[in-house]
Structure 1
Amino acid sequence: MILHGYWRSGTSYRTRIALNLKGLNYEQHGVDLRRGDQRSETYLRLNPQGLVPALEIDGAVLTQSPAILEWLEETHPAPPLLPSDPVARAQVRAMAALIGCDIHPLNNLRVGKALREGFGADQAAVDAWAARWITPGFTALEALVARHGDGWCFGDAPTLADCYLIPQIYSARRFHVALDAFPRLLAIETAADAHPAFQAAHPDRQPDAD
């Protein structure tokens, strides 16, 4: 498997976590979003949308991290990242979607660039924009973890929800978002900091990191 991604991309980060949790070996090819590598002819042949990540597998290319993570769960079911109970599976997927649909897309690199170039936002304004979406999302997630978590987002082992959460906490810190109101989420971050799969996926440990 070849993972095309960017070291600081939240979607690439969550994909690395899932691959590591599954114990899978993969090569990494860096796509520098700041240089515009994602718009190169070579990369667009892999992913016409020009986004990361893209995962090459047996002559096929998978794009969009939710689809990649679901494929990983279907083809490499152990250890599971979704519970066996259908209701519990839906609850974990909802926690992941809370981040993947309602928080992350609003504070990724493309949006930050649009705010700066199209609306004259300085870094303080970009940080405030990110907090505007991260804070209410984390407030809801904190309540869901209180309801369902037992050391991780759902239960006592990492799930898809944790694959989404840890990169979003990393992003929140980059945008200087206050996190003191989310002790359960911070406790999960502490657990992830001690887990080899999460450690190996950290942006600072990637071959293309600054």
Structure 2
Amino acid sequence: MAELLRLYSYWRSSAAYRVRIGLNLKGLRYELIPMHLVRDGGQQHQPEYARLNPQRMVPTLMHGGRVMRQSLSILEYLDESWPERPLLPATARDRARVRALSQLVAADIHPLDNLRVRRYFEEEWGVPPVERDAWMRHWIAEGFQALETLLADDLATGTYCHGEAPGMADCCLVPQVYSARRFGLDMSAWPTITRIEQACMALPAFGQASPEQQPDAPQAQAASA
């Protein structure tokens, strides 16, 4: 019997969203364990979870008794453990390109607009929401400008970030576009990013991973009440 996959996730976490997409693209079944990052002071700070993930962040993936942390590391683990429907290309050169696109989002854009940054602005510095959101839009736009250039000027870009099959870079791009729209960013300046995101969202693997489809989303909880 295959060992159970369990994903600790928060419905609106971009990093958890990436992993949900990757699991879906792989066709892997998993148990989703919601971790509310705001309620009760943040459930990720509870001692039991902090022992699993000392960073007190999501996602965390459990594969049997093994613990995986950090979204890109988890995606690569999935690719190496279940090589069918690969998230990374076959050649070293192409893998380097996809990793660079993925890290542009995960390492350069996302850390500047995540929940920890927003809460620090509000709780420690008293930054008004309008100024906080302007910060978010600025840094997302800076990153998207570079990402748009890299995608638009490379023949390796196809229907998706790399070629004609969705992969790790698309797992990163789609949640970041979702976040950009959440903060009111006009996406018309980046037509290649928008085109790829629309192609991805036409696939069930992406739609089923979207925040509003998660069991801990407010809409889902209201519907089940």
CA contact (8 A) 1:39 1:50 kept: yes
Could you tell me which residue of structure 2 aligns to residue 74 of structure 1?
80
1:116 deviates by 1.2
Could you tell me which residue of structure 2 aligns to residue 15 of structure 1?
19
Give the Cα–Cα distance (whole angstroms) in 1 for the partners of residues 122 and 77 of structure 2.
36
**Residue type of the alignment partner of 2:123:** E
From 107, 127, 130, give the equivalent of 2:113: 107
Is 1:169 the counterpart of 2:177? The answer is yes
The 5-angstrom pairing of residues 38-187 of structure 1 reads: 38-146=44-152, 147=154, 148-187=156-195
Percent of matched pairs sharing the same residue: 50
Could you tell me which residue of structure 2 aligns to residue 31 of structure 1?
35
Moved over 6 A (4+): none
Could you tell me which residue of structure 2 aligns to residue 207 of structure 1?
215
Gaps of 5+ in 1: none
Give the Cα–Cα distance (whole angstroms) in 2 for the partners of residues 114 and 101 of structure 1.
19
1:45 deviates by 2.0
Give the Cα–Cα distance (whole angstroms) in 1 for the partners of residues 125 and 47 of structure 2.
29
1:33 deviates by 0.2
> Aligned pairs, how many?
210
1:66 deviates by 1.3
Could you tell me which residue of structure 2 aligns to residue 196 of structure 1?
204
1:12 deviates by 0.4
CA contact (8 A) 1:2 1:55 kept: yes
1:136 deviates by 1.5
Gaps of 5+ in 2: 219-225
Q: TM-score, normalised by structure 1?
A: 0.97
1:102-156 CA distance string (max 9 Å, x none)? 0001100000001111222122111111112111111111111111311111111
